[in-house]
Amino acid sequence: MVFYGAIAKGNWKRPLNLSLHSTYDGEIHVPFTHHVRHPNPPPSASLPQFTLLPLELQLRVLNWCKKSTLFQLMHTSRFIRAEANKLFFSDPEAIYWIDAEWLLQGGYPGNTLYDLDFMLHVEHLYIDFFWMTEKSWMNPADWDVYSGTEEQAVAGAYGGMDENVREFWSTVQHRFPRLKHVTLGDDHDPSSLRETSQVPPILYRKVSEMCPVGIEVSVALFQGGDRFTNRRMKRRLWRLVIFQADTNTGTKAQWEECSSWSEPLIVMPYKILRGPVGKFQDFYIRQDQQLSQERGM
């Protein structure tokens, strides 16, 4: 793996911000608390007359609010909370990060630190696979038995692959019911680590094309452009387009490369853990996450 090969261009010219997170490749992840923090907090003020305005004017004001203000307004009256909530989560530039391993294991509440209630409102999600291989979708009993290629595994749906992909998407929809756009990705350069130079790789194509109706799906993968160890890695983005070919053949899937990849990714807020059991769970899950990150070293 190339250390800090994915650091954003020109990022070293910006002021050092120790509140941000970084992957081992240098890709920036923004903690939720930083995402909603006002850059220049205004002096505290009270506006008791705001709720007395006509609803049309209240909505007009909300449309001009920044995300940090919208987040604060989500803690006010029922009407304001509902409208601010819509605007806050529909922000097209806000892409929330989640670990694919948790979803692949069933998305059980006890195995994640992130706020499950917050997930109910997320509209754009980035699912990080670390490195997607054919074993990601096989039953564990078949891992040591299969000896074919990635393409052969996909073609034959080996090891219960299709069923596992459908179960994965069912878990995604269960935990993120308002999801409108999913981006799948990992931290490896497919041009140098996979057997084929096809992008998106065949596994990503298969998983994406099995995505439930109503959710747009994209694939964001690193590409370095050469095979030198000091290469700079940059994400490329492909969008899956489903279209009606004709009345006889039904729908078809087509991949389009997009002009740019939106960054950085936002880390969702943690759930509140209380009491001795909560402290133990917090320690256990954080240790597990640390070990998962160290796999990239």
* Chain segment 133-147, per-residue pLDDT in tens: 899 999 998 888 888
120, 224: one domain: yes
Task: Please state the rounded mean pLDDT for residues 164-185.
Answer: 96
Res 230 pLDDT > 70? no
- pLDDT-based confidence at residue 192 (cuts at 50, 70, 90): low
Q: Is residue 243 part of a domain?
A: yes
CA atoms within 13 A on the CB side of 243: 8
- Residue 4 is predicted with a pLDDT of 67
86, 150: one domain: no
178, 236: one domain: yes
Q: What is the pTM of this model?
A: 0.81
Q: Is residue 272 part of a domain?
A: yes
- For residue 251, the surrounding DSSP H or E stretch is strand 250-257
- Residue 137 is predicted with a pLDDT of 94
| CA dihedral sign, ordered 118, 124, 130, 132 | positive
Q: Is residue 12 part of a domain?
A: no
148, 277: one domain: yes
100, 223: one domain: yes
Q: Is residue 69 part of a domain?
A: yes
Q: What SS3 state is found at 34? A: helix
Q: Is residue 102 part of a domain?
A: yes
Task: Please state the rounded mean pLDDT for residues 78-93.
Answer: 81
- Residue 147 is predicted with a pLDDT of 84
How far is the C-alpha of 177 from the C-alpha of 174, rounded, in Å? 6
Q: Is residue 117 part of a domain?
A: yes
Domain range for 68 is 17-22+30-38+50-91
83, 98: one domain: no
Res 21 pLDDT > 60? yes
CA atoms within 13 A on the CB side of 242: 14
105, 224: one domain: yes
Task: Please state the rounded mean pLDDT for residues 227-247.
Answer: 72
Of 205 and 50, the one with more pLDDT? 205
How far is the C-alpha of 51 from the C-alpha of 158, rounded, in Å? 59
Q: Cβ distance 129 to 158 under 8 Å?
A: no
- Residue 216 is predicted with a pLDDT of 94
Tokens of 100: 């694919």
The DSSP output letter for 230 is T
How far is the C-alpha of 129 from the C-alpha of 186, rounded, in Å? 5
Q: Is residue 205 part of a domain?
A: yes
Q: Is residue 43 part of a domain?
A: no
Count of domains forming the chain: 2
169, 287: one domain: yes
From the list 124, 120, 94, the residue with the least C-alpha distance to 107 is: 120
130, 70: one domain: no
Task: Please state the rounded mean pLDDT for residues 230-252.
Answer: 73
263, 179: one domain: yes
Tokens of 248: 């006889």
Give the other-Cβ count within 10 Å of 192's Cβ: 16
149, 207: one domain: yes
Longest dimension (CA), the chain: 70
Tokens of 160: 């219960």
234, 104: one domain: yes
- Residue 263 is predicted with a pLDDT of 73
